[in-house]
Structure 1
Amino acid sequence: MNQISPGEAYERVARNIQQVLHGKPGLVRLAVVCLFSEGHVLVEDVPGLGKTTLARSLAASVDGKLRRIQFTPDLLPSDVTGVMVYHQGENRFEFHPGGVFANVVLADEINRGTPKTQAALLEVMEERTVTVDSERCAVPRPFMVVATQNPIDMEGTYRLPEAQLDRFLMRLSVGYPDPAAEIRVLLDEAAGVGPEQLRPVLGLDALRGVIAAVRRIHIDEALAGYAVNLAAATRRHDDLTLGASPRGSVALIRAARAFAATYGREYVTPDDIKQVAAPVLAHRLILKPEAELRRRGTEEVLAEVLASVPVPGMGVTAVARARV
Structure 2
Amino acid sequence: MSGTGQQPTVSPLTAEQFRATAAAIEREVGKVIVGQRELVRHTLITLLAGGNALLEGVPGLGKTMLIRTLAQVIDCTFSRIQFTPDLMPADIVGTNVIVEDESGQRTFRFEAGPIFANLVLADEINRATPKTQSALLEAMQEHSVTVAKTTRRLAEPFFVLATQNPLEMEGTYPLPEAQLDRFLLKLDVPFPSEDELVEIANRTTGAEEPRPEVVADGQAIVAMQELARAVPIAPHVTAYAARLLKATHPNDGNAPPMVRSYVRYGASPRGMQAMILAGKIIALLDGRYNVAFDDLRAAALPALRHRLILNFEAQAEGITTDEVIGEILREVLPGEQ
Matched, 1:50 2:62: yes
1:206 to 220, 243, 248: 220
Equivalent runs, 1:100-115 vs 2, <5 Å: 100-115=115-130
Q: Give CA deviations for 1:131-172 in whole Å, capped at 9, x if unaligned.
A: 112111111111100122111653443211111211111111
Greater helix content: 1
Tell me, in whole angstroms, the C-alpha distance in 2 between the residues paired with 1:152 and 1:119.
23
Q: 3-state SS of the aligned residue for 2:108?
A: strand
Partner of 1:304: 327
Tell me, in whole angstroms, the C-alpha distance in 2 between the residues paired with 1:59 and 1:300.
33
Matched, 1:135 2:150: yes
Contact 2:46 2:278 in 1 (8 A): yes
Percent identity over the alignment?
A: 42
Matched, 1:72 2:87: no
Partner of 1:276: 299
Partner of 1:234: 248
| Cα offset, 1:108, TM superposition | 1.7
1:224 to 234, 238, 241: 238
Q: Which amino acid aligns with 2:48?
A: F
Q: Which amino acid aligns with 1:21?
A: I
Tell me, in whole angstroms, the C-alpha distance in 1 between the residues paired with 2:167 and 2:132.
17
Contact 1:150 1:157 in 2 (8 A): no
Q: Give CA deviations for 1:107-142 in whole Å, capped at 9, x if unaligned.
A: 122222222211110111011111112111111111
Partner of 1:171: 186
Q: Give CA deviations for 1:227-246 in whole Å, capped at 9, x if unaligned.
A: 11111111123221111111
- TM-score normalised over the length of structure 1: 0.90
Tell me, in whole angstroms, the C-alpha distance in 1 between the residues paired with 2:53 and 2:36.
16
Q: 3-state SS of the aligned residue for 2:151?
A: strand
Q: Structure 1 regions of 5+ residues with no counterpart? A: 314-324
Matched, 1:287 2:292: no
1:182 to 188, 192, 197: 197
Q: 3-state SS of the aligned residue for 1:160?
A: coil
Tell me, in whole angstroms, the C-alpha distance in 2 between the residues paired with 1:200 and 1:227.
36
1:27 to 35, 39, 57: 39
- TM-score normalised over the length of structure 2: 0.87
Q: 3-state SS of the aligned residue for 1:145?
A: strand
Partner of 1:123: 138
Contact 2:68 2:78 in 1 (8 A): no
Q: Give CA deviations for 1:18-46 in whole Å, capped at 9, x if unaligned.
A: 11212222221111111111111111111
Tell me, in whole angstroms, the C-alpha distance in 1 between the residues paired with 2:30 and 2:120.
20
Contact 1:214 1:258 in 2 (8 A): yes
| Cα offset, 1:192, TM superposition | 5.6
Q: Name the count of aligned residue pairs.
A: 312
**Quick one: structure 1 residues 254 and 91, their matched pair in 2 at CA, closer, same or farther if it must change by over 3 Å?**
same
